[in-house]
Structure 1
Amino acid sequence: MTSLSPFVKERSIAHRGASAHAPENTLAAIREAKKRGAKWVEIDVKLTRDGHPVVIHDDRVDRTTNGRGLVAGLTLAEIRAMDVGSWFAASFVGEKVPTFEELIETVLELDLGLQVELKPTPGDDVETAEVACSVLEKYWPKDRGRLFLTSFSVRAIRHAAKLMPDTPRAFAVVVPPRDPRALLAEVDCQILHCTSELIDDDALARLKESGIEFAVATINDRAEASRLLSLGAQTILTDHADIGL
């Protein structure tokens, strides 16, 4: 679990694609990330009511589409009928919530690395891992690498470990753990992802001392991103794919 040879060799990952420049978690955001120099992108996967994996962050569609309701309460056809670009800018009107399959196809076409966040609606943690892993097993080339799974859900990430034991996994936290190595061992992960809110100097020192590979999200200021990298983080997640680290 040491960070002597980090899995993610790049210093930044485009968070939900180039989400400062295009509607998050869309194919447009992935293409924009590539255009702006990203080597890796991060996206979120949730299940629809009829069990299809779609790329969207929130439990509800309200914030990022022109629809309303829980993702888990809507069918794929209902979600695909929604517009996911008009809230961001008129130039993205007509953009759709991607299926996970479409997302993978685009990432492979653009030759990007992919961080897949399993984002279950509370209650379908295991099912989200099962469906997402099944799709990856089918569509992600076996010898390609440049893929890892992550989740805030213990149940989802531990189930993913059983299904895809050879694919690296990251556990996501808000509170930096007192014993990072013990936590990663408990959840069967190799990488720790921390949100930025509670990352102070003591937490950074503790994480660096542990020797684990860790990343911080979501950092949009270049100076702060550089500071975190200098203090031990291997990777920064950012909405600005062209942050230039």
Structure 2
Amino acid sequence: MRLLFFILVILCLVAGCDNQDGNIQPIANDKFLIIAHRGASAFAPEHTMIAYEIAHEADVDYIEIDLQMTKDGVLVAMHDEKVDRTTNGTGFVKEYTLEELKQLNAGKWFNEEYPGLANREFEQEEVPTLEEIFMHFGDDVNYYIELKSPRIYKGMEEELFALLKKYDLIRETQDLPKVIVESFNEDSLTNFHALGPALPLIQLFSFKEKATLSHSDYKRLQTYASGIGVNIKSVDQDFIHDAQLNGLQVHLYSIKNEIDVKNAFRLDVNGVFIDNPTFGEHLPQEES
């Protein structure tokens, strides 16, 4: 039954379902996607080169990169708007020039918070720019990029689009898309869709109670999004199937243990954001 449902979903995605915008890029792949949440953040300081390297070595489908922007307009990998939690600095990213941000230690906090995983090499890590990540990994990985705080960063979408063009990452592929862009901010995604309609977009949601979307919600999403990202505690299989039959993939965040991975797989979702990418190595086999 599970295989039959996925066949129906794939046919729906390829055909576009009720999608009113012919420019929407479907993610027409039946593979259960493993997305390394902030890199391999269970093993190394999040959003550092070493965290991305570990994720790459684990052969994940995507490395996730949250974006903030410096005072001088450079896109950098960091989850929070402030540097306090993951560096030895204080204040907002937007108050730092790149040169100033590069003086901060981006790994020592991890050793202090997780002494059992401490590694002296982590204390050599700095905050990477998005361009440095592209230069380092090139075509060797797929990128899942979040426009994290676009409301406070003028020109963030344009800067991301320019970098993707510079490194030839905006292109159709026979396999998985090279780049997926996500955000909680709908305006940012619709603006980005106008810039790069060839890129699949994921609208993020955080539901405090049971996840639900109306018919009008789906109609709106179908004008720009290829899928949705939803917090795992809020969903059930009915919601997931409804979204998929409306032409949207469903990716769940954030997976903290192997049981959650297997539960997500049984719910028929299309992928998971996971701190420990090795949890995806022993998924149940497809049912016949």
Which residue is 1:61 aligned to?
83
State the TM-score, normalizing by the size of structure 2: 0.77
TM-aligned CA deviation for residue 80 of structure 1: 0.9
2:222 match: secondary structure = helix
Deviations along 1:19-60, one digit per CA (max 9) or x if unpaired, are 000111111111011222323211111111111111111010
Which residue is 2:219 aligned to?
182
Which residue is 1:224 aligned to?
260
Between 139-148 and 167-176, report the one with greater CA deviation.
139-148
Distance 2:162 2:93 in 1: 20
Which residue is 2:205 aligned to?
173
Distance 1:167 1:157 in 2: 11
Which residue is 1:51 aligned to?
73
2:260 match: secondary structure = helix
Deviations along 1:163-207, one digit per CA (max 9) or x if unpaired, are 111111111111234236324125x11111112232245534543
Whether 2:181 is the aligned partner of 1:136: answer: no
- Select which of 171, 174, 198 maps to 2:234: 198
2:109 match: secondary structure = coil
Q: CA RMSD in A?
A: 2.1
1:133 and 1:142, CA in 2 relative to 1: closer, same or farther beyond 3 A?
Answer: closer
> Contact (CA 8 Å) 2:170, 2:199: kept in 1 or not?
no
Larger of the two Rg values belongs to structure: 2
Distance 1:142 1:210 in 2: 25
> Contact (CA 8 Å) 1:37, 1:242: kept in 2 or not?
no
Deviations along 1:54-96, one digit per CA (max 9) or x if unpaired, are 1111010000001001011211111111000111124200201
> Which stretches in structure 2 are left out of the alignment for 5+ residues?
1-7, 14-26, 112-118, 284-288
- Select which of 105, 109, 116 maps to 2:145: 116
Task: Indicate the percent of aligned positions where both proteins have the same amino acid.
Answer: 28
Which residue is 1:154 aligned to?
186
1:152 and 1:200, CA in 2 relative to 1: closer, same or farther beyond 3 A?
Answer: same
1:87 match: secondary structure = helix
- Select which of 42, 47, 52 maps to 1:30: 52
> Contact (CA 8 Å) 2:69, 2:93: kept in 1 or not?
yes
Deviations along 1:113-168, one digit per CA (max 9) or x if unpaired, are 110111125332x5211111111111134446421111111121111101111111
TM-aligned CA deviation for residue 208 of structure 1: 4.7
> Which stretches in structure 1 are left out of the alignment for 5+ residues?
none
Q: How many residues align?
A: 241
* Structure whose residues are more often helix by fraction: 2
1:184 and 1:3, CA in 2 relative to 1: closer, same or farther beyond 3 A?
Answer: farther
